[in-house]
Each structure stands twice: as C-alpha cells, then as structure tokens.
Chains A and B, each alone.
Chain A
C-alpha cells in the first residue's frame, strides 16, 4: 500500500514539474507570434514563415487543431498563450461572447482597406462596432467530377445518387458536411434542416454509391490519382490543386441546389502576449504576395483580398466556377451550429455509416 502511495506521489510530482515548465514557457513570448490553425492551412507554409520572419524579426510558432471545437478547448485551457487564431466566421461570435478573443484595432492592418467589403464588414465578424476577426480566406465544399467521364459537367447534386455511378463516389467522411449536402439535395436550409428523417433517408440511399470515405486531403488525392472515383464531395481548392499541380482530369461544379461554403477569419486571442506581432502577422496573411505565393504552391482557397483575386489567371477554376457571378448566390456559407446539433449530426452520420457496413 505504501509503495502505491509513494508511486502516486512521485507521479503527481512529475505532473507538477511538467505543468511548471509549461507555465514558464508562457512568459517568454516577446520575439514570437503564436498561431493556432489547421496543419497545412496557409499560415505554416515554410516560404511564408521565412518571408515574415525576415521582414519582422519575429519567430512564428504553430500549434494545430483538428476541429474548431478543439480551438475553443485550447483557448480555454491556455489563456494568454496564443496570439493569432484562425476561426471559421461562424464561430467568431461565440468566441467573442466567451471572452476568448479580443477586438482588433483595424487601423494597424494596412491591407484592411483592400478586403472585399461585404466579407470584411459582415456582422458575423463585427460585434457592437468592434471587429473581432479579419476576414482571410473563403472557399467551398462541392462536387468534383472526372472530366474524362463527364465531357459535360453535371448540374445537379442528384448525380451523386445516380445508379450509373454506383461504387464510384468518394465521400468526405464528415458529419456536418454530409448533413449539409443531404439538406441541399432535399431542398432544405443547410443551417437548420427541418426534416431530419428525410436527411437520414437521403444519406442511407448513398450506400451503393460510396467507394470510399476519406478524411484528409491527402487521402482524397490518393483516391483520385488511383482513379477510384468519378465523383467526390471535396473542398474546391483541393480539386483545383489536383487539376493544376497534379494534372488530373478533374474539375468541380456549383450544383443547381447549391454548394457549401466557408469563410475563415483571423482573430487575436484574449490577453495575447504579442498583440503587435499578431497584427503584423495578420496584415501579412491578407496581403497580395502571400496569396500569390500560396496559389503558386497549390491548394489555396479564395483570398478575401480584392487585389489578390484580380491578379489570379483568368482561367483559374476559382474565378470561372466558384467565384463566378452566376454561382455566388448558390453558395451557402456555413452558419454556426450548436453543440447539440453537432452531436446529433455525428450520431446520425455514425448510424448511416453503420448501415453502410451492414
């Protein structure tokens, strides 16, 4: 018994030491900008970090998330640790209400004036006259298709349920997107679908269609390169990268029922240790040179910087398909979901996947 007690005590001491070093690290942040974002989502491009560090003398330190709820957990558990936080605009209000992010002095962001006004001034990012997030990128999740199989692009989401393409669909393994696609296909509001039974039936009907369910962009690229699917639900920027960088016969549509779109903004964490550094970093991230660099290496979504978009090649899919004036009204920007919605979507999606396996 004594042995157990002394083991437990030593273990606690070890934990205390670990926590201690973490707190010590908290107070050594002057020359650093700490960024919380998805891995491989722009801010950690090596050439960009190098350019920023050279220009400002600040060191960029990254921490990564695998979902936005994780962002909230990390901000709550480590107050005063992060400087810049990338948030989907649908979450900005919640983060501001919880006191996890602070208002931004937009006069310090030199590029603020050249951002698309309707994105920049959206009420999701501006609360009580203060800006809580500088709009950074936007993009879509839509249907991509093999251009060899479809000489003419499909027009409707129903193509995903077409028996002709049974076993040829690579579907993104994501509860929220699955529910949103099914809502669009059944003519419902993807933010607040009224008839969840209809959505369940629509998703269950996918069973014969699905070849594979993928999670990371890399998994999807492997599937498409190996010609495993004719159709997929996937982010539009990944499709464009596959077409341009990997020379695959692929393109995407904004279906007549619509596509899902997201808007990401950069916020400054509450009590950020390096606010000046955070402002400089955000300004660089919304600049034309950064976006041009990202487009060049591939995988970039759509910049919120007007000048940056005007400098894209005329032929880019982003300009001709996604941001085309006739398609823009059909984009459904993701609104916020409650935790209960999120859980019920996951339960539904797991139930559907279990039936796929039956």
Chain B
C-alpha cells in the first residue's frame, strides 16, 4: 500500500507542480491585482478596493458585450456540435482502416498551423473577390458580390473552424466506445436508424458531446483575436475590451476584474448545466 502511495505521488507531482507554476500562481496574482486601486509597478500607491468590479455594473456596454460574448459562445458550440457530431459518427461507425486514419489526420491537420495564420487565410477566402466570391461568380456570373468578411458571420465561421476539431475528436472517442453489438441488438429487435440514434447512440455519446461543447464554449467566450481580425466594426468582444485594458492603458486591475467577472459568468453557466451533466456522466 505504501509503495503504491509513493508511486502515485511520484507520478502526479510533476503535473501538480506544473499546474501550480503555470496556472494557479498567475491566476492568484491576477485575482489579487483585480482588487488593487492602481496598477502594479505604477507610481501611485495601491490600496485594496472593489471599484474595478463595480465598474462592470456602472457602464452599460460591459454587460452588453458580456452577453454578446456568451451568445457567440453558445452559437459556435451549437454549430460545432451540429457539424462535428455527424462527422464523428461517420468516422467511427461507417469508415475503417485507411480512410478513417486519413480523415482523422485531416481533422487534426489544422492544429499543426498557427491560429493567426488560419484566421488570415480566412480573410482571403471570405473577402470580396476572395475565393468564395470568385467561385460563386464562376457559376453565377450575374450574382451580386459575396463578401462576408468584416461581419458577424465571418467571426462565427472563423471560430467554428478553429474549434471544430475538438468537437469531432471528443465525440469520436465517445462513439468509438459504444459496443457495436448494442446497435446490432437494437436492429435485431426492429429499431429503425433514427430510433437507434435517439435511444442508443446519442445518450451513450453524450459525454463526448458535452466535453466538446465546453471545450468550445469556454475559449470562444474569451476570444479576441478572431473577432478583431474577421469582424470589422462587429469585432469588439469582452476579450478585446480586456486586452485593451492590459495593452493600451496598463489598467491591469480593471482588466483582471473584467476577466474574473467573465470567468464567474462562465462558471455559473457550467454550474447551471451541472445537474444535467451529472445525470449523464453518472457521477455522484
């Protein structure tokens, strides 16, 4: 028993150490900063205050932007699920061998390029006289020009593309784990495809779908690069507002407070979903 305890200790220490240095320490420091009345490293003496948190409630546009970021997160997560789940289903249940490996590789491939480069690539595809526009005009020369760059749909397209692989991979792993004999048994008992999907495949793969949705929703709520580059005058999000506090005016306390408010909102949403998740994951 003691030996097992020691090996568990030895195996987990590097992870805990890394998490402490890379995650817990910076977040603790930022949490502390969010209560300061003046920036750290500044000339003014700083005292503890709640003003930075109060600022969020005194200006209407903060709550508007927070709500906008959350809607964006929900929309992107939903679209990723709609596109990603069928793709994962085909990968896990319809394909095998060489084709499956090749397609999985294609799903993972975007991860190998820099996120910024992918976003700039989208600007070339989506702009007027870009690839989409030219393709449409090759078929329908009389169609009006299609340039959706610098609009809200452009932001959504860029983000869905960025996060789709997470959804496909998490769904794929859940779907892989479903025993094929369950499907055969259902079919043997006369269940049709949509019944099998609804009664067996969806419930059993729900954990993958839920994890994929969380992995998409949480980062999208804080996204700032994609909206700024693709969104034009639609490009402001809670993420860009926080970024500006850090880089433009060096108001770290306000930037930190806004980040923690956003984090609080995200955690509250996840907490609301917890009963549903707990039932599905068979926790507790």
Verify B64–A358 contact, CB threshold 8 A: yes
Q: A11-B21, A98-B43 are in contact. Are A67 and B236 (CB under 8 A)?
A: no
Check B150–A350 contact: CB distance below 8 A.
no
Interface contact B249-A339, CB-CB below 8 Å: yes
* Contact residues, B236-274 vs A (CB, 8 A): 236, 241, 244-245, 247-251
A342 to B56: give the CA distance in the assembly, Å: 18
A14-B21, A215-B228 known; A67+B247 contact, CB < 8 A: yes
Once the chains are docked, how many angstroms separate the CA of A284 from the CA of B132? 50
User: Contacts of A356 on B, CB cut-off 8 Å?
Assistant: 233-234, 236
Among A162-201, those with CB < 8 Å from B are 173-175
Is A211's CB under 8 angstroms from B232's CB?
A: yes
A8: chain B residues at CB < 8 Å are 20
Residues in B1-37 with C-beta less than 8 Å from chain A: 9, 13, 16-17, 20-21, 25
* Alpha-carbon gap, A14 to B17, bound state (A): 10
- Do B236 and A346 have beta carbons less than 8 Å apart? no
Is A357 within 8 A of B68, CB to CB? yes
Closest residue of A by beta carbon distance from B55:
A347
Residue of B nearest to A354 (CB): B61
Inter-chain contact B64/A7, CB cutoff 8 Å: no
Bound form: Cα–Cα A356–B234 in Å: 6
B110 on the A face (CB < 8 A): no
Docked Cα-Cα span, A175 to B251, in Å, equals 14
The listed residue (A3, A70, A228, A350) touching B236 by CB distance below 8 A is A350
User: In A1-43, which residues have CB < 8 Å from any B CB?
Assistant: 3-4, 7-8, 10-11, 14-15
For chain B, residues 50 to 70, give those with C-beta under 8 angstroms from any C-beta of chain A.
Answer: 59, 61, 64-65, 68
Task: Answer whether residue A114 sits at the interface, using C-beta atoms and an 8 A cutoff.
Answer: no
B117 CB, min distance to chain A CBs, angstroms: 13
B150 cross-chain contacts in A, Cβ below 8 A: 211-212, 228
Known contacts A7-B17, A11-B20, A219 near B229 by CB under 8 Å: yes
The complex places the Cα of A210 from the Cα of B233 at a distance, in Å, of 6
Known contacts A7-B16, A73-B250, A212-B150; A350/B244 CB under 8 A: yes
A215-B228, A226-B127, A339-B249 are contacts. A347–B59 as well, Cβ < 8 Å?
Answer: yes
Measured between beta carbons, the chain A residues less than 8 angstroms from B20 are 7-8, 10-11
A10 engages B127 (CB within 8 Å): no
With contact pairs A212-B150, A226-B127, A357-B236 given, residues A7 and B249 touching in the complex (Cβ less than 8 Å) = no
Q: Give the distance in Å from the alpha carbon of A175 to the alpha carbon of B241 in the complex.
A: 12
Interface size for A (C-beta < 8 A) is 43
In whole angstroms, how far apart are the Cα atoms of A212 and B232 in the complex?
A: 4
Kindly state the separation between the CA atoms of A73 and B120 in the bound complex, as whole angstroms. Answer: 32
Q: At the interface, yes or no: B205 with Cβ under 8 Å from chain A?
A: no
Chain A residues within an 8 Å CB radius of B250: 67, 69-70, 73
Give Cα A4 to B64, complex, Å. Answer: 40
Inter-chain CA distance A58–B228, complex, in Å, is 41
Contact across chains for B59 and A351 when beta carbons are under 8 A apart: yes
A3 to B234, CA, bound (A): 47
The reply to whether the CB of A155 lies closer than 8 angstroms to some CB of chain B is no
Pair B65/A342 contact, Cβ less than 8 Å: no
In the docked arrangement, what's the CA distance between A73 and B250, Å?
9
Inter-chain CA distance A213–B65, complex, in Å, is 17
Q: Provided the pairs A8-B20, A76-B41 are in contact, do residues A210 and B232 lie with their beta carbons within 8 angstroms?
A: yes
Q: How far is the CB of B123 from chain A (nearest CB, A)?
A: 7
Residue of B nearest to A70 (CB): B250
CA A175 to CA B244, docked complex, whole Å:
10
Given contacts A7-B16, A98-B43, A226-B127, contact A357 B229 (CB under 8 A): no
Chain B residues within an 8 Å CB radius of A219 = 229
B residues less than 8 Å from A3 (CB atoms) = 9, 13, 16
A174, A346, A354: residue with the most chain B Cβ atoms closer than 10 Å: A354
Pairwise interchain contact A346-B244, C-beta atoms closer than 8 A: yes
Residues of chain B lying within 8 A (CB to CB) of residue A339:
249
Q: Which of A209-230 contact B (CB under 8 A)?
A: 210-213, 215, 219, 222, 226-228
A311-353, CB < 8 A from B:
339, 342-343, 346-347, 350-351, 353
Tell me the bound Cα distance from A247 to B155 in angstroms.
31
B247, A7: Cβ atoms closer than 8 Å: no
A residues less than 8 Å from B123 (CB atoms):
222
Rounded to whole Å, the gap between the CB of A208 and the closest CB of chain B is 9
A12: nearest chain-B partner, CB-CB? B25
20 sampled A-B residue pairs with Cβ under 8 A: A3-B16, A10-B20, A11-B20, A14-B21, A15-B25, A73-B250, A210-B232, A212-B232, A213-B228, A226-B128, A226-B129, A339-B249, A342-B249, A346-B248, A354-B64, A354-B236, A355-B61, A357-B68, A357-B233, A357-B235
Given contacts A15-B21, A174-B248, A350-B241, 6 further A-B contacts (CB under 8 A): A7-B16, A11-B21, A67-B247, A69-B248, A339-B249, A346-B248
4 closest A-B pairs by CB: A354-B61, A356-B233, A353-B236, A69-B250
Residues of A in contact with B (beta carbons under 8 Å apart):
3-4, 7-8, 10-11, 14-15, 66-67, 69-70, 73, 76-77, 98, 173-175, 207, 210-213, 215, 219, 222, 226-228, 339, 342-343, 346-347, 350-351, 353-358
